[in-house]
Amino acid sequence: MGADYPNKGKAPGRRFELALCAPGDPLELRPEPENPADEHAIAVYSERGVQLGYISSQRAVRVAQLIRQGHTTTAIFQEATRFGAFARVSFDGAVPALPQPVCVGEEPNGAFDPEPDWYPDEVWPD
């Protein structure tokens, strides 16, 4: 997401804003077709209107294409990471959902980490 880059003007820093976000908070996606670095760039903003970063360039191409075709998006904050954050995005009225935490390094007493470092994507039937 590019959380280490500063925001323009007097806006709070991206890392600071990420620390204020909670799982499930709404996010806003703003395409930037005039972005000199990437015509498919999509900026991600918190519910307070502060930029958190950008969707990765690999995913932005498809998301930008869908937005240009008129598809609506709904995005939510999933979790902060060392590079920025993970977000969940759905299209055309679908509601993005946070995945259930997975059992990471299950211990003999059956305990598991309720806040794992990653969430797997859902596996959709073919």
Q: What is the pLDDT of residues 61-108, one digit of tens each?
A: 999 999 999 999 999 999 998 888 999 999 999 999 998 765 555 555
Give mean pLDDT, residues 26-42.
94
pTM of the model: 0.75
Residue 8 lies in a domain: no
| H helix or E strand, kind and range, residue 74 | strand 73-80
- Specify whether the CB–CB gap between 30 and 24 falls below 8 A: no
The whole-angstrom separation of Cα 94 and Cα 42 is 20
Domain that holds residue 79: 14-91
What's CA 82's distance to the chain center, in Å? 13
For the segment 5-26, the average pLDDT, to the nearest whole number, is 87
Q: Evaluate whether residue 52 is within a structural domain.
A: yes
Answer whether residue 2 is part of any domain. no
Q: Tens digit of pLDDT for each residue in 108-119? A: 555 555 555 666
Domain membership flag for residue 18: yes
Domain of 76, CATH number, reads 3.30.70.2330
Number of structural domains found in the chain = 1
Whether 111 is in a domain gets the answer no
Cβ atoms of 14 and 53 within 8 Å: the answer is yes
Give the DSSP H/E element, type plus range, for residue 68: helix 57-68
